[in-house]
Amino acid sequence: QVQLVQSGGGLVRPGGSLRVSCAASGFKFRDHYMTWVRQAPGKGLEWVAQISDGGGQADYADSVRGRVTISRDNAKNSLYLQLDNVRVDDTAIYYCARLKEPGATPSDYWGQGTLVTVSA
Amino acid sequence: SYVLTQAPSVSVAPGETARITCGGDDIETKSVNWYQQKPGQAPVLVIYYDSDRPSGIPERFSGSNSGNTATLTISGVEAGDEAHYYCQVWHSGSDHWVFGGGTELTVL
C-alpha cells in the first residue's frame, strides 16, 4: 500500500536551517509529482512547494520562495524540503503529499506530518 | 493572487445535509478538490475534479462547481463527519496551489 513516512523536523533557531524528509513506498515514486503543505498551529492548510516527477520543475509559494528548496532522489524514493533562514512564522506541521497524476492534480496520499518549531 | 473564501463554520443535525461552499472568482473554470481533516490527523482527499470521489469515500459525499461557488455536499451527516474541510484549486496564472481557509463542520 502507498506509504509516505516523514522524518526530520524539530526545534530550530530563527535564521537557522532544517531539512524534512519523506520516504515513499508502495508506488512508483518516479512517476508522481510531489508536494509539501504546511499548517501553522490552529490555522488552515498552506501550500509550500511542488516538484515534478523528474525533479526538473519546482514551484514555490511566495511566502517561502528563496528560503525553501524542494528536491527529490528517485533512486532512494525520497522527497526533501530544505528550509533556510527560517522565521518564527515558519513554525508549522509540514506534510508531504503525492499528486495523483502528473501536473496540477489532487494530493491523494499524505504523510503523517512533522512539526517544525522556530524559536529562540 | 487567487483567493478562495470559505465560511468558518457550519453546523447540522445528524441525518441532515451539510453544504460547505468555496467562493472564488470564476471558480467554475477551475477544478476543485476537497479535503477532510480531523484533529491530529493528516488531510484526506474526499472530492476531486469538482465531483469525483476517491475509492473508499462514501457516496454521501458529493461536489459541484458553478459560477463563483463550488460546493461540497454531505448527505445524511454522521457524527464521524465532524472535521475541518478545505477546498483547493490550482491557479495557473501563478503556478500555485491555493487552499480555502477551511470550514469546521459540527454535528449537533
Tell me the three-class secondary structure of A9-31, residue by residue: CEEECCCCCEEEEEEEECCCHHH
Smallest CA-to-CA distance from B17 within B90, B76, B105 is with: B76
Q: Which three cell numbers stand for residue B84?
A: 475541518
The DSSP bridge partners found for residue B23 are B5, B69
pLDDT for A87 beyond 90: yes
Backbone angles phi, psi at B86, to 5 degrees: -120, 135
Tell me how far apart the alpha carbons of residues B104 and B77 are, in angstroms, rounded to a whole number.
Answer: 14
Nearest to B99 among A44, A59, A100 (CB): A44
Residue with cell 472530492: B47
Mutation pick from B9, B97, B98, B103 vs chain A, by most beta carbons of A within 10 Å, is B97
**Three-state SS for B81?**
helix
- A16-33 per-position pLDDT tens digit: 999 999 999 999 999 999
Tell me how far apart the alpha carbons of residues B5 and A44 are, in angstroms, rounded to a whole number.
Answer: 12
Residue A11: CB atoms within 10 A of its CB come to 12
- B42-84 per-position pLDDT tens digit: 999 999 999 999 999 999 999 999 999 999 999 999 999 999 9
Using pLDDT thresholds of 50, 70 and 90, give the confidence band for residue A103.
Answer: confident
Tell me how far apart the alpha carbons of residues A16 and A78 are, in angstroms, rounded to a whole number.
Answer: 23
**Three-state SS for A55?**
coil
Q: Which three cell numbers stand for residue A41?
A: 498551529
The answer to whether the Cβ–Cβ distance between A45 and B92 falls below 8 Å is: no
The answer to whether the Cβ–Cβ distance between B43 and A106 falls below 8 Å is: no
Tell me how far apart the alpha carbons of residues B87 and A109 are, in angstroms, rounded to a whole number.
Answer: 16
| Strand B103-107 with A45-51, pairing | unpaired
Smallest CA-to-CA distance from A25 within A5, A45, A39 is with: A5
Return left, alpha or beta for B19; rule: phi > 0 is left, psi -120 to 50 is alpha, else beta. Answer: beta
The answer to whether the Cβ–Cβ distance between B96 and A47 falls below 8 Å is: yes
List residues of B whose CB lies inside 8 A of any A CB: 1, 31, 33, 35, 37, 42-45, 48-49, 54, 84, 86, 88, 90, 92, 95-102
Computed over every residue of chain A, the mean pLDDT equals 96
Residue with cell 518564527: A88
| Residues of chain B with C-beta less than 8 angstroms from the C-beta of A111 | 42
Residue with cell 508536494: A35
pLDDT for B94 beyond 90: no
Which chain A residue has the Cα nearest residue B55? A108
pLDDT at B16: 97
